[in-house]
A and B are shown apart, each in its own frame.
Chain A
Amino acid sequence: MLKQLTYVQVWVNDQDEALAFYTEKLGMELREDVTVPEMGNFRWLSVGLPGQDVAIALLAVPGPPVFDDETRDAIRSLLAKGASGGLFFATDNAQKSYEELKSRGVEFTQEPTEQPYGIDAGFRDPSGNHFRLAQQNA
């Protein structure tokens, strides 16, 4: 049966911009970056948190022949509107992580806030994807 989650896929507006953001600002490592000329220069780009196997595939929204122009534009518009889902991260110290990421210029949507389950905060990537970081109660 299914064994392990290995990748989650995140649409991004601009793969170079995303790579810089996820590695330089969020502290992830580059896992793969391959462009395939015979597939219309499809670029498989993935990053991940050091020490964790699961990777995030940062994919550009393709146009024809994968998606027609209207579909591509609709996806890019949803992304920019913040309607494209998100990822949830754990941290040992929400306040410290918040301050560090903020000082690197990460755009926060919510400052660290006490919740019944711990302390969490919200932020976005340059494309508009929404992320949360949470310090869970022991």
Chain B
Amino acid sequence: MRPVIPVPPTRHLLRAKDLVDARYHEPLDVSALARAAHLSPAHFSREFRRAFGETPHQYLLTRRLERAAFLLRNTDRSVAEICARVGLSSVGSFTTSFGRAFGLSPTRYRAAYPPASSRVRVPTCVVQAYARPHSAVFEKTAAHAAASVLGSP
């Protein structure tokens, strides 16, 4: 008979932490995380903090803020939509915690980076298809330009 090797209790806490990283956009709360770790909420919060140095609530909030910052830099979605997309329900408290974490409001944070549209990776075939001037407009503009050059009515 081989000896039974116990699973270290922190492995269950890691599972709860992974759940935050994967499902931060869902209405997760500490009791759902405690269930993933098979612990009571109060015991879970204490043990999580002992293992990872912060409470599960702080970990969840900072993960959501990190994802929100990412979306502010890389999308043109509104602040309200980004707030909802990272699993937060109140735009007011989102703005407050974001400011505390990053030292800037979400809008100013976004303005500090080049706009997402300038960095989007558009394949050449898409540029060629969408950026070509519409021929009807082109003809009208050309006719107008020709008319002004010739000075005729």
Q: Tell me, yes or no, whether A binds B.
A: yes
Chain A residues in the interface with B (C-beta under 8 A): 13-14, 16-17, 76-77, 79-82, 107-111, 116, 124, 127-128
Say yes or no: A77-B8 contact (C-beta < 8 A), given A108-B22, A109-B22.
Answer: yes
Q: List B contacts of A128 (CB < 8 A).
A: 11, 14
Contact count band on B? 10 to 19
Q: Are B5 and A81 in contact (CB under 8 A)?
A: no
Q: Which applies to chain B's interface (DSSP): helix, strand, loop or mixed?
A: helix
Q: Are B22 and A79 in contact (CB under 8 A)?
A: no
What is the CA–CA distance of A77 and B18 in the complex, to the nearest angstrom? 16
Q: How far does the Cβ of A86 sit from chain B's closest Cβ, in whole Å?
A: 13
Q: How far does the Cβ of A59 sit from chain B's closest Cβ, in whole Å?
A: 13
Q: Are A13 and B14 in contact (CB under 8 A)?
A: no
Closest to A79 in B: B8
Given contacts A16-B2, A81-B13, A82-B18, 5 further A-B contacts (CB under 8 A): A76-B8, A77-B10, A80-B14, A124-B14, A128-B14
Q: How far does the Cβ of A99 sit from chain B's closest Cβ, in whole Å?
A: 16
Residue among B2, B5, B17, B121 making CB contact with A82, cutoff 8 Å = B17
A-B contact pairs, 26 of them (CB 8 A): A13-B7, A13-B8, A14-B5, A16-B2, A76-B8, A77-B8, A77-B10, A79-B8, A80-B7, A80-B8, A80-B9, A80-B10, A80-B11, A80-B13, A81-B10, A81-B13, A81-B14, A82-B14, A82-B17, A108-B22, A110-B21, A110-B22, A111-B22, A124-B18, A127-B11, A128-B11
